[in-house]
Structure 1
């Protein structure tokens, strides 16, 4: 586990203590332990319960612990210094073959045909536009272009944390904006779910992305306006990798909390979070919230701990000036409905899920936490994408996320151009079969761009609220530059509450559809599963929140 010096990392030395002789030993497992006193007292309590502290994030009172004691959770919870404990993830598992976590963001049944890629310099673009700008309908929709918002702000002096699967810092569109000195990886590869470790420590360097998701998100936020490939919303913002996601796409509790605290300690301006925290899609606090399905005491304790620790870490980050932006989720779920059906939790270990129906007081995190801007997704028609979660009071703002089935009845229906094009690591693309061994796209869902000097970059099309959130994070960076106060050394800072207000009042209002229901039958979707009831007004409603984010309006560019 890697923590920066800015975060107080303590592995306290305490008097040796042993677990009770009767403790039964099993495979080593990893736990998150919350404590109320000092790290030293917590370490002693953990040791007495048969555990070993491997890391501490003192700012929010949480420790990462390993133990082979099969009764560790019961034993450590009985200690007075301990506020709560839960499994983080097993150190070793017997469930290999974890599927790509973000597979639903690459539409099935896509057309083949071998995309040849693009090459050469700009042609047919407006002044200052990037060579692939004609493929970025999303930037045009929100006015994040050189002739609109970027006349007033480009994100210069603003630090954006990408809390994801990593960032490929070698990508030509990201290299100049990447801050290697402050980037950190808080995860350790787990071979049974992440594949073989690439380095002996199993802790990947902070400048790589074996998954691809984080690099795609980073390009949306801040791909460089360098006459190469694409442009991001805030092309001069600084990108800081605060990796909390495994190669396989899991985001475990301790890693997420540690990354949030670190983001606060180094005073990032904006953090993008395109994920939910494993293993629970919805986190409940009592049995009364379970309407169907069963739950154990340990599972409830785990869900409560997720809520408490994430809530604390998110609040800590917000209080230190971090604007927090999160994707709303891709389950086509009305988050404002009284109940929620969950067929995936717990999603770790793999195949552990038990279907349940829970009350809407069971929260998906981080998107439903206070101090977090929750983002739904629209396609190029500005209609809410069929997959996007929604709900009055849950969605704060909408943004382009791509929608493969948009523009039904036109030649654009079910084409790559309806999705979001962004940067992608070449090696990940080859490993996933998006590119051949020579780096050429295998179909028109990806693009390879090379300049006259022979420098090449790989890009792919994805859809999801994961793609919508970084558009908002990028606009937040523009707002911080435009209205923030100087911090020295060229930096800017702005209260997250002010950023949220600017995003809200500048968003482009989007009314509910006629009749109050967005019907996806024409797009070939099951009405029961996908049709979305739109509650609210043109000003604020459940599908679009305050409206579609507008970069140009947010900074006075139009």
Structure 2
């Protein structure tokens, strides 16, 4: 599977697309170079960079690269892109295939690793595709009723977490910002423009901040994923379209997905550091960091990626942000003795490998302090695709499912989640990608209710206020007579729903 935690369809297998680098080996020489150079320009890179790999070099936190380290990086064929001194992460490009193993021997280097397995850039294996877009006639037929936005009756997910009742008390504070670390956000959308925080928005794709006007928006051919997520969180209650879970808070776009659809470590690190330093209260992370679904700490490259992102997420939390992430869409039991990962590395040639979940981590989802979110469908059951695991899943929220598996009550008609799409439209998507923003929005409502609450307090309230949900046992979601997943734990803490279903009404009600 690819990195985004939403699904165009709910099939568990998708075709894998070869990387651009692998593909151009089959092209005539005359056509390969211009394609690589054009793609590099799209990433703000030089043609030389197109033959390079990107690395993170981890040194002591709070320190800048020493003169000796800078010299060594140059001698080993590397060029420093940027350095995040507060967390001791240096981003480097190098065409030297032995750069990482050489730089690890330098004094002061704690770990170092390649952030990808194919040279810059590569082609995505994304399974998101185009969501089901509401037609003009469907939008026109919707009418605002009883103070609701026109499309709100289609949003079965709002009453599922009592967000409709919460809105009678509070829409959330415009002093609270949720950053969507994702594929970019179209801030010109009429449902997003009223609540968009431009100052907290940025493009981090190159591993360092690009603050040029509109850099946070998705390109015309890029995924609508981030825009959809942003609408679920904070689509304005303005008589237009749909309503977000927290329609009074601000939403920012931190673009970390490159034009080919990959979320690489250096971009995600940049995103968390930017959020930390620009007053963000909550980050939403509906992806996994490419190219490894699970990053195994017995591999020096993958271990370095885990270290860099652990530092970045912890820094964001120290600066006041609650980090919320999607659990993933493979119906994995993340506490199993072993898991077969057939999708990694997804930027070159994936191969089947068996991993130990106690040593191999989905990042940022399984990093310390990150809120891990499972998805439910319209009947309140674990979504057929949602990953699970006692002690891994913290909380659950609507992410949608096949309508045939979990049919919503009328007037809703689709078992997926409605969201905003680039170009001023709306459409349905499903996945733990859609569950995570519901929880991020509830966290924002808690922060609105308790403005001085630390991230630890917000998370404590998030879990304490959740509606305990018992294990679904037996769990045969497709009705074929076979058990599709096994849930362990009690009503108030289990592997399907964590502490329970997120509760928006409790979030705006002072205890």
Give the structure-1-normalised TM-score.
Answer: 0.76
> Does the 8 Å CA contact 2:171/2:249 hold for their aligned counterparts?
no
Structure 1 CA distance, aligned partners of 2:118 and 2:292? 19
> Does the 8 Å CA contact 1:180/1:207 hold for their aligned counterparts?
no
Structure 2 CA distance, aligned partners of 1:236 and 1:26? 43
Aligned match of 1:212: 224
- Is structure 2 residue 344 aligned with structure 1 residue 325? no
Q: Deviations over 1:311-340 (max 9, x none)?
A: 111111111111110000000011122211
Alpha-carbon shift at residue 557 of structure 1 (Å): 8.5
Between Structure 1 and Structure 2, whose CA radius of gyration is higher? 1
Q: Which runs of 4+ in 1 moved over 6 A?
A: 112-115, 201-204, 410-413
1:85-484 equivalent positions in 2, closer than 5 A? 85-89=112-116, 92=119, 96=123, 98-103=124-129, 116-119=137-140, 122-123=143-144, 125-126=145-146, 128-145=147-164, 147-188=165-206, 205-208=215-218, 210-286=222-298, 300-349=299-348, 352-361=349-358, 362-407=360-405, 417-426=414-423, 457-484=424-451
Structure 2 CA distance, aligned partners of 1:277 and 1:214? 15
> Does the 8 Å CA contact 1:378/1:384 hold for their aligned counterparts?
yes
Cα 1:113–1:163 change in 2 (3 A) is: closer
Q: CA RMSD in A?
A: 2.9
Specify which of 517, 538, 543 is matched with residue 474 of structure 2: 517
Select between 536-545 and 207-216 the one with higher mean Cα deviation.
207-216
Cα 1:148–1:51 change in 2 (3 A) is: closer
Alpha-carbon shift at residue 76 of structure 1 (Å): 1.5
Aligned match of 2:38: none
Cα 1:411–1:475 change in 2 (3 A) is: closer
Secondary structure at the counterpart of residue 402 of structure 1: coil
Aligned match of 2:19: none
Structure 2 CA distance, aligned partners of 1:271 and 1:71? 35
Structure 2 CA distance, aligned partners of 1:130 and 1:249? 32
Q: Deviations over 1:180-230 (max 9, x none)?
A: 2331100149xxxxxxxxxxx999712445311000000000001111000
Alpha-carbon shift at residue 63 of structure 1 (Å): 1.5
Alpha-carbon shift at residue 235 of structure 1 (Å): 0.8
- Is structure 2 residue 77 aligned with structure 1 residue 50? yes
Give the structure-2-normalised TM-score.
Answer: 0.82
Structure 1 CA distance, aligned partners of 2:98 and 2:439? 45
Unaligned runs of 5+ in 1: 1-24, 190-200, 287-299, 427-456, 486-493
Q: Deviations over 1:84-127 (max 9, x none)?
A: 2222247856865x343434x95xxx8x997733227734x23x
Specify which of 38, 52, 57 is matched with residue 28 of structure 1: 52
Structure 1 CA distance, aligned partners of 2:272 and 2:141? 41
Structure 2 CA distance, aligned partners of 1:540 and 1:92? 43
Alpha-carbon shift at residue 39 of structure 1 (Å): 2.0
Structure 1 CA distance, aligned partners of 2:341 and 2:449? 42
Secondary structure at the counterpart of residue 302 of structure 2: helix
Structure 1 CA distance, aligned partners of 2:151 and 2:83? 45
